Each structure stands twice: as C-alpha cells, then as structure tokens.
Amino acid sequence: MDFKDTPELAAFRQDVRAWLDANAERRTDNLNMGMEGEQAFLEGKAWYRKKAEAGFACLTWPKEYGGAGLTSLHDVVWTQEVVNYRTRDAQFVIGIGNCGPAIMHFANEEAKRELLPRMASAQDVWCQLFSEPSAGSDVAGLRTSAQREGDHWKINGQKIWTSGAQYSDYGVVLTRTDPGVSKYKGLTMFMIDMRQPGVEVRPIKQMDGGQHFNEVFFHDAVVPDAYRLGDVGGGWTGALTVLMSERLAISGIQPTGFPQFLDVVKSLELNGEPMASDPIVRDRLATWYSQYAGLQAANKRMITAVAQGGIAGAEASLGKLVGAVMNQEIANFVCQLFGQAGVIQDATLSPARAHFQESVLFAPGVRLAGGTDEVMRNILAEQVLGLPQEPRADKGMAFKDIPTGSAGAG
Amino acid sequence: MNFEFSEEQRFIRDQARNFLSQECSTPVVREVLDGSGSFHRPLWDKIIELGWTAMAIPEEHGGLGLGYLELCVIAEELGRALAPIPFSSSVYLATEALKHWGSQQQKAQYLPRLAAGELIGCFAHAEGLGKPCVDAAAGKAGIAGSKLPVADGDIADFAILSARNADDVVQLYIVDLAQSGVRREALSSLDPSRSQARIDLQNAAAEPLGDADPAGAEAIDSLLDCAAVLLAFEQIGGCQAAMDSGIAYTKERYAFGRPVASFQAIKHKFADMFVALELARSNAYYGAWALSSDAPDLPLAAATARVSATDAYYLISKENIQAHGGMGFTWEFDCHLYYRRAQLLSSQIGAMPLWKERLVTHLLHAA
C-alpha cells in the first residue's frame, strides 16, 4: 500500500498544477460557485475552451477525437487537482461524461471525427434525453417514438429532466422504434441536432426555485440514419453504457456537504460557545466524518482497481447513494443548529452565504437525479450482491400491452 | 498509487481463510460459547504453530519480522471466523506494548515467549462503567486496585496494566497474574465465546513498562490506535461473514412463492449493509496504511476505522437477524454469534462515545 504517483504521473501532476495556477483561481472556501443561468454557462464554456487549447480536455479520449490520449489515472490526477480551483463545468459534464463514451462506442467513424472534437473543446454542448414523464426509474418504459422514413427518422414525444437542454446543440436520445416487442427490445438510440424547428425546450421551475432541468418536446424532429447509435432495437445496451458512465462521472464528485459542515463548525459560535464544543455537534461530526472519509478511501480503492486493469463497476452507485443522503441530513442539521435564524435564506445574513438553506431545498433533487436512492439500492443488491430481481408484471409482454396508470403525465 | 494489499499479503489472507474454515467453523466457536473453557486451546495451539503470534515480532526477538499489513489480513480472517482465542489481547495489545515501550531487557524476556506462544498477555485498563478512569495505584508495596473488565484476564499469564505512580501520573506496568497479590474472576458477558475477567490487585508486584522513560498516557493512546485498526479488521471480517450468511439464507428461503431475497424490503436492507461494510472496509484500509507507514494522521485514521467498523458491525449483525426472520432468533442459528461479537468488539478498548470523541478531537486539530 502506498499513495505515491509513478514518476510519469508525478510529472503530469506538476504540469497540471502549474497550468491551473496560471489559468484558474485557487479556492479559498468550499462553497459552491454561486450564480446560475446564461452567465455561468458562458464562463463554463470559456473555461472548457481554454482547457482544450492547453490539451487538458477529455484526457482519456484518443487524440483524433479531440482528447489527450492519456490513461484514466491521468484523469484521476486532473480531478484531484482541479477540485482546488474555482472552475465551472456543470453544463459539460453530461456531454463529455455520458454522451461521449456512448458515441465513441456506437457512432460511425465519420460522425465521431466530426462531433467528438467539437464536444471536447466545448464548441458544441450536449444533453442526454432519456427520462420521460412516465418513464423515470423504469426508463425502459419510455414512449418517445422514432419512425423511419427512408434514410431519416422522425422523432415525436416528450422528454423530461434534461439538464442543460436550453444550451445544447446536440443530444443523445433514447426512443421506441418498435412497440410490438418487449420494452427492452424495441429501443433505439440516436444523436439528435437540438437546433431544429421540431425541438422545443421548456425549462422546469424546480421546488427550490432554480431552473436546472427542462422538458423537451419533439414534433417530427428529424435525425439522419447516420446518427443512429448502435443497432435498431439495440438502444438498451447503449443506454446502459451511458448510465454507467454517468455514475462513474459523478461518483468522485458527488457532494456530501461534509467539508462545508466542518468549516461552519470550526468557524462559528453558538450561544457564546464554539460550535465545535457542543456534544451533539461532535457526535454528528464523528458519524459523518467516518462516512465521508470512507467514501474518499473507497474512491482510492476504486482507482487502484482501475489502475490494475479492472473496471469501476456498480460499486460506483455507493458514492451517489451515501453522498446524496448525507448532503440532505447535514443541511437540515445545520439549519437546526442556527436556531430560529435557520429558516432565513439570505446570502448576506445566513452563514456560508446561505449554503445550508439552499442545500435543504436542493437536496431532495440530488436524491432523485441520476438514479434515485432506491434504484441505487437495487443496483447494489442485484448487480453487486447478486440478489434475485423483483418479479416484473410486464415481463414478456409487448410494450403496447403493458398496463399504465394515470399518474404518469403529472 | 496502490491502495490494495500486496499479492503476498492476499496469499497470507487466503491461507488463513482456508485454515480457519477447516479449524474454526461455528461449532468450534460454540464449544467455548456453551461453556467449555475460556478459550479454545486446540485452536490456539494450531495458530501458534502457524506462527501468527510471532508475525509482527522482530526476528531478533524470535518473531517473523512481518509488518502490520500482514497482521491486518489475519485479523480480518479471525473476525470472520469468530475465533474464540485471546489473539487480540496477547498480540495487538500486550505484544505491541512490549515491542514499542518495553526496555531491552523486557523485550528479550517477553517477546520470544509471546512469539512462541509460551505466554499469553492481556491489557488491563478499564475500571468499571464509563470511560477508563485509572484509580489503581502503584506504590512501594506494589499495585492496589481493581480492573474490570479485562479481556482474557482470567487466562493470561501477565497483564500490561495501567496504574497511577507515586506522582499520580498514569503509567503502564507489567504484572504477573499468577502471583498471590492477584485475584481473578471470570465474568459473564454478552459474548461468552470470548473471556472477560475482573482482576483485583492487593500489593501486587509489578515492574514499570520501559526503563528510563516509562510508558504513560501517550503510550496508552498509541497502543489503542494500533489495536483500533486491527480490531476494525476483525469487525469487517465479522460483517462480511454475517452479511454473506444472510444473503445465502434469503436466496434459498421462499415466501409468497419467491425467494425472500427478491423483495425490495430485503434487498434494500442488504444494500445498506453493503454500503456500511464498504465504508468500514475502506476506512480500515486507510487505517492499515496509516499504521504500517506510521503516518502523522494515524490517530484520526484509527478512530475513523473504529467508529466506522463499529457502526457497520452493529447494523449488519442486527439486520442479519431480521433478514433471517424467526430462525434468526434461535440459539441454533449462528446469527446471534455475530451479534454478540459485534457487541464485544464495540466495547473492547473503549466504546463509541470514547472513539467518537477521539475522532473529533483529532479532526478538529488537523490542518
């Protein structure tokens, strides 16, 4: 056991640090970047372009597709270093993290050479169009249809919870091409041009007031067959590739709320005493630190497995599950500590620029997005522990015959 | 970066697992649980023969000169097998105390005999309810006071024992337990597969551990850190065994025409157990690294490993009973063996309030 870099990685780490020092602002606190919307998007885009010009974009992608042709361990080093700087990447994680690997795997060579370098340099923004109003955890129950017309497909239907759709140039969309076969078999995945008349994006106002997600409507939107990802009817395999990449992309950066909690405990007084001397606070610190440290160490084990030639498997679901739950519990606990003032959400009055109040309201979404707590538990139980699947009422049925309830459309 | 045990260490682990699955199945554990003796002498003798008591003792003192990482993988297997032997008392505590703070003469006297299994040591620190408060006093006439509970106190040949010296400073002593000034009594406990005792000392002869600079509170702290990491491995070994047994049982048992393990209520229970175990295992690994490399953050890493492993073993051992249903509550099924051992290991070397406090103290003092 040791935590030393190989000489090659140590040199790379030095390069990364030097470049980040020269090109980004070092973090002085653990608070989020603040500001959403257009301005944040433009800053993020500028940062990705800068990164791409310096050769630090998409480190593991082959050079001909706009990447740096390096290993996943280089990527780990980059992630470990960049976290210490104030950078924006929210809109680009999905394209590069989720869509990129699927395109690399399933697209034809011409499309890869055309589209991937533009994704890597943030010239194009991508979104992922899977979830639908009546297909959330059961995403294979989706109904958006794709019908072939010569060398094109026509897409009709509705997607929901699409992050960054309003900024996106392209999307990876999962559609139903055959409702006459079982639900997993009738799916086909495409790349779609989001800048066409048949695509309508409507932002969703979330319960916390933010607008991170969208509904996307397709009215005879057109996709050339050359933009098909994988076989007709083979969309589920592609979707699993995307979903697994998503869990990997977020497993290392899933917020837990712990560093912010530790900062506030160290810096604030409560009833004239340091918050850190309160026995209840100390008890919570111990419990949450042991989980937080466990996640960090689990991540190191995962990196080791990857370095030794393995793959990070379904275990990545663990980080998502633990982080999302802890994040909500910490936010609630800290607001309680503030007493009656805990309810005030005012960045100039509330400690940590109202981070904890914001978290209270945003945390429910974190437990749902990218696979709910319950889906994560199913994945761990079935894919890691090998427990049998739940019997399915729709097993063996043609999709069109599967019963539907009335709560779908919301 | 390499955050995994080496091939050699994993080989030792596999060998230990094979050996214990043959020699320390749960009927063996039950021999002690059901009252025949304070530990399993035949198993202990075989383990001595395998050299496990000599593992982390330097070669110059008759040991094998291996490191803590090797001891960690053995600890995990002993925990998995619920081994009813005084290994933790003698190896993680008494041997480590002598190795680090013993004088040259003490090392030469005790370590070769500990390595060879001719002596069993124990650690006598607690004195009743709550956090350890040392009232035992060492004067010219010897040590007077009571220690309770002392794991393996009724079977050990000697104790590393804390007492206040003439200046009222807590210090560690070596006390021969076979002398007339020592009275020992076995106690009932939540886990009768391991022994607990009360030790009363009346003018008991003792020698300070170490010579010029006797071992005191700092030595006790670092001894506890070391034991916390090793016990965390015993705990995660027990967690894994308990969880595996629950998975095997609920896959085989049917209700409402399908395996019990196919119900989400059961699956999610096991997912939560898996999460707790993975976090505990990862923290234990970090603790092992900190212990083996004498890292400055060992105290924080050790407390974290202990808190995490204690939480995990409690959760897994109780939910494993639940997943087994009524049969899990019988004496016949092994579920209670893990539940009992989880209780024992969570209190040995200090319970959760103490270790959470140690964790927080080190966390807040860290940069």
- Residues of A in Cβ contact (< 8 Å) with B6: 1
Residues 304-363 of B with CB under 8 A from A: 304, 307-308, 311, 355-357, 359-360, 363
% of chain A exceeding 90 in pLDDT: 71
| Cα–Cα dist B13/A264, whole Å | 43
Give B27 or A6, the one with higher predicted confidence. Answer: B27
Mean pLDDT confidence for A244-250 = 65
Of B139 and B339, the structure prediction assigns the larger pLDDT to: B339
pLDDT of residue A248: 62
Q: What does pTM read for this prediction?
A: 0.94
∠ CA A179-A183-A185, nearest 5°, is 90
Q: What is the pLDDT of residue A1?
A: 86
Residues A347-378 pLDDT 10s:
999 999 999 999 999 999 999 988 899 999 99
pLDDT of residue B291: 97
Interface of B with A in 255-274 (CB under 8 A): 258-259, 261-264, 266-268, 270-272, 274
pLDDT tens-digit map of B81-115: 999 999 999 999 999 999 999 999 999 999 999 99
Mean pLDDT, residues A140-160 taken together: 97
Q: Which of A258-262, A300-304, A382-386, B334-338 has the lowest mean pLDDT?
A: A300-304
Residue B306 has pLDDT above 80, yes or no: yes
Q: How far is B93 from chain A (nearest CA, A)?
A: 24
Contact flag B279-A294 (C-beta cutoff 8 Å): yes
pLDDT digits (tens, 9 = 90+) for B225-284: 999 999 999 999 999 999 999 999 999 999 999 999 999 999 999 999 999 999 999 999
> What average pLDDT does this structure show over A220-229?
97
With CA atoms as reference, the chain A residue closest to B306 would be A290
The pLDDT of residue A34 is: 66
Structure ipTM:
0.95
Neighbours of A205 (CB within 10 A): 9
pLDDT for A250: 61
Q: Give the pLDDT band (50/70/90) at residue A270.
A: confident
pLDDT band at A224 (very low <50, low <70, confident <90, very high): very high
Lowest-pLDDT choice from A10-19, A312-321, B17-26, B309-318:
A312-321
Residue A29 binned pLDDT confidence (cut-offs 50, 70, 90):
confident
Query: Which residues of B are less than 8 Å from A378 in CB distance?
Result: 264, 267-268, 271
Give the DSSP letter string of B30-51.
Answer: HHHHTTS-SS-HHHHHHHHHHT
A410 — pLDDT class (breaks 50, 70, 90):
very low
- Chain A residues with CB under 8 Å of B311 CB are 287, 290
Q: What is the pLDDT of residue A313?
A: 67
Structure tokens at A228: 């098909």
